[in-house]
Amino acid sequence: MSRSRKLRILILMDETFMPPDRVEESFDLTTAKWKMEWDVYAALCNLGHEVRKLGLRDDLGKLRDALVEFEPHIAFNLIEDFHDFRIFDQHVVSYLELVQQPYTGCNPRGLTLARDKALTKKIMAYHRIAVPAFAVFPKRRKIVRPKKLEFPLLVKSVNVEGSVGIAQSSVVYDDQKLKERVQFIHESLGTYAIAEQYIDGRELYVGVMGNLRLRTFPTWEMIFANLPEGVPRIATDRVKTSHAYQQRWGIVSQRAEPLPRCVEEQIPHLCKRIYRILGLTGYARLDFRLTADNQLYLLEANPNPQIAYGEDFAESAEADGLSYGELLQQIMNLGLSYSPDILV
């Protein structure tokens, strides 16, 4: 099949994030919870493809019926959960593989490994890649901090992404606050909690794309220009989602400049190594902290990251010469060329 051929594309998304078929030019997209879904839908339509949207929540029958009726060349996967459970998206991708439906983004095994923050860190530690020290706190068990795990600690969900549940109070400095924050994660998100060493330094993001042959995009950085002295520089939920908060505290995401030469040279090799170790495919964003002595710590690996127009991944791709439409087309090309046997 020609890569430039008009394709039938079925976009899979959470049904609560279904965008309308049309958006007025006067509408402020920055306020829409479905901005990413709209950006992808509109861009694919503009490329001349035949595009349909499918909202999913808890019924695989809808997906089966759409595949049979529409016969898409590729499913563009934007779902992040299924049945309101954050890690069930990997099972939807497994279903796509079982019915031999090409799809975009990461394979099921890569999703399984990377979405578990604790498992990712264990694998990285085995391969001698620097990660913060950490401990996992299961639900309905006594909360006891390992003696070797020193404060300050950052507490978050072990598998919920997008900074959900992260606030300034997520950084704790004593056992009582640790207990309170762990309980908050258990009760509000219903997941295990992970408490990891808070690494003071620059917050860096690196986009990686590919299956076997990998490409890294320019390093992006989150800048906290106006936060008061002593306030932890962390990507909280408000930092990610509130434009008013971003403007108030001078929080912007931009190309990381300048980086020490030794770090600039290390990042592409390190990112490709991490990507391959975790068995990722399609595209991903790797999040790092860079300390004052130029030590890189991997914080998280994020397969199928946010790809709205103007967000970190798309911006870094554009800085590397890919327009938004070209980026989405390459993501689809990777999905069309992917085969599960490359991982065995």
8-state DSSP, 34 = T
Q: Choose among 123, 109, 64: nearest CA to 341.
A: 109
Q: Judge whether 282 and 304 are in contact, CB under 8 Å.
A: yes
Helix, strand, coil shares, percent, the chain, to 5: 40, 20, 40
Q: Give the residue carrying structure tokens 């490329």.
A: 47
Specify the pLDDT at position 166.
Answer: 87
- Helix, strand or coil for residue 235? coil
Separation CA 298–CA 302 (nearest Å)? 11
Separation CA 189–CA 324 (nearest Å)? 33
Q: What is the pTM of this model?
A: 0.92
H-helix or E-strand containing 284?
Answer: strand 283-290
Q: Choose among 322, 313, 315, 267: nearest CA to 290.
A: 267
Specify the pLDDT at position 4.
Answer: 63
- The residue count of the chain comes to 344
Specify the pLDDT at position 233.
Answer: 85
Specify the pLDDT at position 73.
Answer: 98
How many other CB atoms are found less than 10 A from the CB of residue 16? 9
- Rounded to the nearest 5°, which phi and psi values hold at 220? -110, 155
Q: Judge whether 37 and 45 are in contact, CB under 8 Å.
A: no
Superfamily of domain 200-343: ATP-grasp fold, B domain (3.30.470.20)
User: Which residues touch 45 (CB under 8 Å, ≥6 apart)?
Assistant: 51
Specify the pLDDT at position 43.
Answer: 97
Q: Encode burial over 201-217: b for 16+ CB neighbours within 10 A, e otherwise.
A: bbbbbbbbbbbeebebb
Assigned token pair, 197 = 């060493």
Specify the pLDDT at position 2.
Answer: 41
Class of domain 133-197: alpha beta
Q: How confident is the chain (344 residues) per 10-residue block, as mean pLDDT?
A: 76 95 86 94 97 95 97 96 81 96 97 94 97 95 94 92 82 96 94 94 96 97 85 80 79 91 96 98 97 96 95 96 97 96 78
Specify the pLDDT at position 24.
Answer: 87
Q: Choose among 340, 330, 279, 282: nearest CA to 105.
A: 282
